[in-house]
Amino acid sequence: MHKDIATPIRTKEILKKYGFSFKKSLGQNFLIDPNVLRNIVSHADLTKDSAAIEVGPGIGALTEHLAREAGKVVSFEIDQRLLPVLEDTLSPYDNIDVIHSDILKADVATVIAEKLSDYKDIVVVANLPYYVTTPILMKLLMEGLSIRAMVVMMQKEVADRISAKPSTKAYGSLSIAVQYYMRAEVVMSVPNTVFMPQPNVDSAVLRLTRHEQPPVVVKDEKFFFQITKAAFSQRRKTLLNNLQSQLPLGKSRKEEILTALASIDIDPRRRGETLSIEEFGKLADVLLPIFK
């Protein structure tokens, strides 16, 4: 067994050896606690028949734990300065491919087809850069990739929003956008003391598991998301007010909106945050003929 990368001493040694300085703009916070890493990986249920996709490997702390459990690991790293570091730290492992690329611009489907064609079971496991957590998640969800689950570390507040239930303060359009594709649960909290440098926020690990059956089937996905965004645009306003102000010519279509709401038994005075994903599905479908 090789010495873990993720200890404070080893991390400092590696950073010193390469004269590496953290870039705030890339949201670089490296994990320095092997127990936390083992715990994260355990939530991904990997076997040697699984492949793992990682975003932002840093100096390879999580990557090596993935390589020990999975058959193959593909890591996307945006920071060119880390490529020689990773080549060195991950040299004991022959089942890792590091791709120098911004995940937001990468063609992940092609990478899966070219590098992971032998694997039916693919899981995303990553310590996501906090400033782009949501765009990365939404990209991976919306591209219809054959991913079983994601086990991702992020700011605790964002994890709470994604996994929130209706009628709670954290529940919003982000909760619905993610829960439309995946079941979301926070599986562990992570204190800021296990990072170098220490972020000034608490972190959590979120596990997203693909639905066997989607929670709601809608006629027009894009419109469904447009409606959920509209309903939450001003949280204190009623559903009717938000729909009128956010939808094209909404003001002049008040009666049609009221009739549509009545047809699915939704009180126009309710607030968006009280509607379940199923109710939003019905709402989008009855409003579709009015606004499309």
Binding residue positions for S-adenosyl-L-methionine? 29, 31, 56, 77, 102, 127
CA distance 54 to 73: 7
Cβ neighbours of residue 19 closer than 8 Å, sequence gap 6 or more? none
Which residues are part of a known binding site? 29, 31, 56, 77, 102, 127
Fill in the DSSP letter of residue 164.
P
CA distance 164 to 234: 18
**Residue 139 vs residues 45, 91, 260: alpha-carbon distances, Å:** 23, 30, 32
SS (H, E, C) 224-289: HHHHHHHHCCCCCCCHHHHHHHHCCCHHHHHHHHHHHHHHCCCCCCCCHHHCCHHHHHHHHHHHHH
CB distance 201 to 131 below 8 Å: no
Fill in the DSSP letter of residue 4.
P
CA distance 250 to 241: 9
Length of the chain: 292
CB distance 286 to 223 below 8 Å: no
